[in-house]
Amino acid sequence: MFRDLSLSNDFIRQTFKLKENYMWRVKKARNDLSKVQNWEDNFTKILYRPFDIREIYFHDSVVWRKRKEVMRHMMQENFGLITPKQFKEEPGAFVTRHINGHKTVSAYDINYLFPLYLYPDESKGKRLDEKAAKPEQVPNISKEFLQGVKIRHRANRLPIVNATRNF
């Protein structure tokens, strides 16, 4: 319906209760989206609040400030740690497999997402292994940190979980 340019922008705005801002306009979004090939590929899940997973159309034409540089890593098999930088309420963190909203863990504080794995940016033609069937994942944890965790685990006789294993 949103992509159907035969419907008026006012009708779409009222039907979906859309609000425009200085950076996003319904008319431009609809025109941009009408040109997208394979537009169905942009549907994904978003962790809106803890345990509240919703569907979202994750495309620049309809999502403003989508934080592509981080969220693109969550569009593939991954886990991410979500935590606020500062706390106005009880501190918290959450682990997810999905992209997330900016106030997923804390209603008052902006959240930050730390993906466990990073993937090469295929849109820029960067692939670690050109022959690989799917993109290579690189741990988003330094080797020094992992070594420190292993040493502490051994000292405490705790089992070590291999954080760099493939799914």
State the pLDDT confidence band at 106, using cuts at 50, 70 and 90.
Answer: confident
- Residues 29 and 55 placed together within one structural domain of the fold: no
State the pLDDT confidence band at 166, using cuts at 50, 70 and 90.
Answer: very low
- Site of tokens 């930050």: 112
Give the span between the Cα atoms of 68 and 86, in whole angstroms: 23
Give the span between the Cα atoms of 166 and 141, in whole angstroms: 15
pLDDT in tens, 11-63: 999 999 999 999 889 999 999 999 999 999 999 999 988 899 999 999 988 88
Number of domains in the chain: 2
**Domain boundaries, position 43:** 39-156
- Does the pTM exceed 0.85? no
Contacts of 52 (CB under 8 A, 6+ apart): none
Residue of higher predicted confidence among 91 and 69: 69
Q: Are 94 and 47 in contact (CB under 8 A)?
A: yes
- Site of tokens 């919703």: 54
Q: Calculate the CA dihedral of residues 57, 60, 63, 69 and round it to 10 degrees.
A: 100
- Residues 28 and 99 placed together within one structural domain of the fold: no
Question: Does residue 161 fall inside a structural domain?
Answer: no
